[in-house]
Amino acid sequence: MKRREKERGSTQYTLRVYSFSDARDAVPYISSIVRSLREHALASLAQRRHIRKLDNQPGRATRARLIARQEAQNALQRAEQHFQEAEEELRQLDIFSLDPLQGLALVPFVHEDQLAWYIFDLFDAEAFRSWRYQSDPDDTRRPTAQLEEPKKSRKPSSWLV
């Protein structure tokens, strides 16, 4: 049995895909989660800087400095835990964070029988201004204006990856 598992290679995962209208309808919820991700990532960075600053102070560590470092370490762990929880909430929707600090996420869809991604931008007035195929380089951006919503075609609601 173990041999067959090795022969198969990677496990398969069914990915929920979104229509453009479904993705647009989900913008408020996606925005909320991506905003939380960004805030927790920024909090983590701030706590890491604070810890580094405390560690780099000259002289022997005082009791107050040790307590401050421990509090900063605890705050860092809380921020990282909250980040992971928000990321998991996105993952349950089959949406993936591309760059939490820039507020970017990837929402899957199918275009011309290929897996593609709407690129969600938290700071853009038009949340889904661009998209790319799975096979495209990461920095590829195609305008969503070029996409046409299929008219009651056989669009799949999931995609096997």
Query: In this structure, what DSSP letter does residue 61 have?
Result: P
**Statement: the pTM of the whole predicted model exceeds 0.85:** no
Q: What would the pLDDT profile of 23-65 be if each residue is shown by its tens digit?
A: 999 999 999 999 999 999 999 999 999 999 999 999 898 999 9
Give the Cα separation of 104 and 101 in Å (integer): 8
3-state secondary structure 8-48: HCCCCCEEECCCHHHHHHCHHHHHHHHHHHHHHHHHHHHHH
> Residue 3: pLDDT above 90?
no
Q: What residues does each domain of the chain span?
A: 2-160
Cross-strand bridge partners of residue 160: 14
Q: What would the pLDDT profile of 73-114 be if each residue is shown by its tens digit?
A: 999 999 999 999 999 999 999 999 999 999 999 999 999 999
CB 15 within 8 A of CB 94: yes
CA-wise closest residue to 15 among 101, 79, 94, 133: 94
- Tell me the torsion sign for CA atoms 145, 146, 149, 154: negative
> Residue 151: pLDDT above 50?
no
Task: Enter the tokens of residue 31.
Answer: 């925005």
